């Protein structure tokens, strides 16, 4: 019953692969919880000034 008691190997044995994207299922699930949508925030402007152009410098750093 406790997720912490589940061993990874046991979970993998019982897991099923589902082809395709999980996004449509997630969107359907989310819509069932609350169907109200709000507009996305606009990037930039005074409230959210961009730090730098994409791709950000963090993407170019080698680990």
Cut 0.85: pTM above it: no
What tens digit of pLDDT does each residue of 42-54 get? 777 787 788 888 8
What's the domain range around 42? 20-63
Asked whether residue 48 is domain-assigned, the answer is yes
Asked whether residue 7 is domain-assigned, the answer is no
42 three-class SS: coil
Tell whether the model's pLDDT for residue 1 goes beyond 70.
no
Number of domains in the chain: 1
Asked whether residue 35 is domain-assigned, the answer is yes
Asked whether residue 1 is domain-assigned, the answer is no
CA dihedral 50, 52, 54, 55 (to 10 degrees): -140
Report residue 43 as tokens: 């990037």
What tens digit of pLDDT does each residue of 9-28 get? 888 999 999 899 999 999 99
Asked whether residue 43 is domain-assigned, the answer is yes
């Amino acid at each position: 019953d406790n997720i912490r008691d589940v061993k990874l190997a046991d979970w993998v044995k019982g897991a099923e692969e589902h082809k395709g994207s999980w996004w449509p299922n997630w969107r359907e699930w989310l819509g069932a919880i609350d169907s109200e949508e709000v507009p996305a925030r606009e990037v930039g402007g005074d409230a959210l000034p961009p730090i730098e152009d994409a791709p950000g410098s963090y993407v170019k750093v080698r680990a």
